[in-house]
């Protein structure tokens, strides 16, 4: 495998400095899952790839497999999604986007996550909704989180009660990491969250509809805020770790209303 050269479309999802002039970028590739690549000399003034190898740039990447890292051989810019970072809310959103993606991705995975991330970024470009104080941001992020869970095979069961198997068209629901329960059916120590009928309706739409349709339909601000919290809860339960950037983003949303 060493010295093998490969070419693939890739989305840059992270970067960190290495030594005085080098940098390591993390990319989601269409063909090889997540990869870390060394970019020699990129931090020197006037480097030809300066400004291109940044998060949310979609590139055609030529990489070379090395001992500890791969190396960037060549780069062509396909698309720049960095416009997302234009505002503070955008900054919060991009951080959350990257955090969700980076936790799920791994080397050698199929290109599903790459395709998903690209679809969502394209959706963002088409919709161009305002970031500040907008429920669409929360719809968008809820939809993204649940889609990531879906490709991980961890979508919660929402049509029937997980315990008794009966329909759940009644009040008194709770949500656990695996799905919904009647409140009276909850047993054991699993962590659960109360879920109102209104929230359940939105939650179901988030899981079953495309992001674009969700945003066209819209919904009430306080409901989607609660639903996004539930999506983050399910995601956190799955990973046993908190999405830290969500707290930051939530504070932004609440302050700007
Ligand atoms: Zn039940």
Structure tokens at 110: 């199929």
Percent of the chain with pLDDT over 70: 91
Ligand 1 centroid to residue 193 C-alpha, Å:
15
Query: Same structural domain for residues 46 and 97?
Result: no
Domains identified in the chain, total number: 2
Q: Which residue has the higher pLDDT, 249 or 111?
A: 111
Ligand 1 centroid to residue 184 C-alpha, Å:
7
Q: Strand 180-182 and strand 70-80: pairing?
A: unpaired
Structure tokens at 160: 């029937």
Ligand 1 centroid to residue 51 C-alpha, Å:
54
Whole-number pLDDT of residue 73: 95
Ligand 1 centroid to residue 74 C-alpha, Å:
56
pLDDT band at 248 (very low <50, low <70, confident <90, very high): confident
Residues 16-45 as b or e (16 or more Cβ within 10 Å = b):
eebeeeebbbbbbbbebbbbebbbeebeee
pTM of the model: 0.88
Query: Same structural domain for residues 109 and 202?
Result: yes
Query: Same structural domain for residues 141 and 208?
Result: yes
82-93 average pLDDT score: 68
Query: Same structural domain for residues 72 and 127?
Result: no
Give per-residue pLDDT as tens, 102-142: 778 776 677 889 999 999 988 888 876 666 557 888 899 99
Whole-number pLDDT of residue 132: 56
Q: Indicate whether 86 belongs to any domain.
A: no
Ligand 1 centroid to residue 160 C-alpha, Å:
8
Residues 117-155 as b or e (16 or more Cβ within 10 Å = b):
bbebbebbeeeeeebeebbbbbbbbbbbbbbbbeeeebb
Query: Same structural domain for residues 52 and 174?
Result: no
Ligand 1 centroid to residue 26 C-alpha, Å:
44
Q: Is the dihedral of CA 99, 83, 108, 25 positive or negative?
A: negative
Domain that holds residue 119: 92-255
CB 18 within 8 A of CB 71: no
Give per-residue pLDDT as tens, 142-172: 999 999 999 888 899 999 999 999 998 767 8
């Amino acid at each position: 495998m060493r010295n093998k050269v490969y070419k693939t479309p890739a989305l840059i999802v992270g970067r960190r400095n290495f030594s005085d002039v080098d940098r390591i970028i993390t990319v989601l590739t269409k063909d090889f899952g997540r990869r870390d690549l060394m970019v020699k000399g990129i931090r020197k003034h006037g480097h030809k790839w300066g400004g291109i190898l940044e998060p949310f740039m979609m590139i055609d990447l030529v990489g070379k497999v090395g001992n500890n890292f791969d190396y960037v051989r060549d780069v062509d810019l396909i698309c720049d999604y960095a416009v997302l970072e234009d505002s503070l809310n955008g900054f919060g959103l991009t951080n959350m986007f990257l955090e969700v993606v980076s936790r799920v991705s791994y080397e050698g995975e199929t290109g599903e996550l790459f395709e998903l991330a690209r679809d969502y970024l394209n959706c963002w470009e088409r919709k161009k909704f305002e970031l500040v104080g907008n429920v669409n941001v929360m719809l968008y992020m809820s939809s993204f989180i649940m889609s990531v869970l879906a490709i991980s095979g961890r979508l919660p069961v929402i049509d029937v009660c997980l315990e008794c198997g009966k329909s759940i068209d009644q009040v008194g629901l709770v949500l656990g990491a695996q799905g919904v329960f009647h409140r009276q059916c909850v047993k054991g120590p699993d962590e659960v969250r109360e879920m109102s009928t209104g929230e359940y309706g939105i939650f179901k739409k988030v899981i079953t509809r495309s992001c674009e349709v969700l945003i066209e339909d819209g919904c009430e601000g306080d409901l989607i805020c609660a639903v996004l919290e539930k999506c983050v809860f399910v995601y956190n339960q799955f990973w046993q770790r908190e999405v830290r950037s969500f707290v930051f983003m939530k504070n932004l949303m609440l302050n700007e209303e």
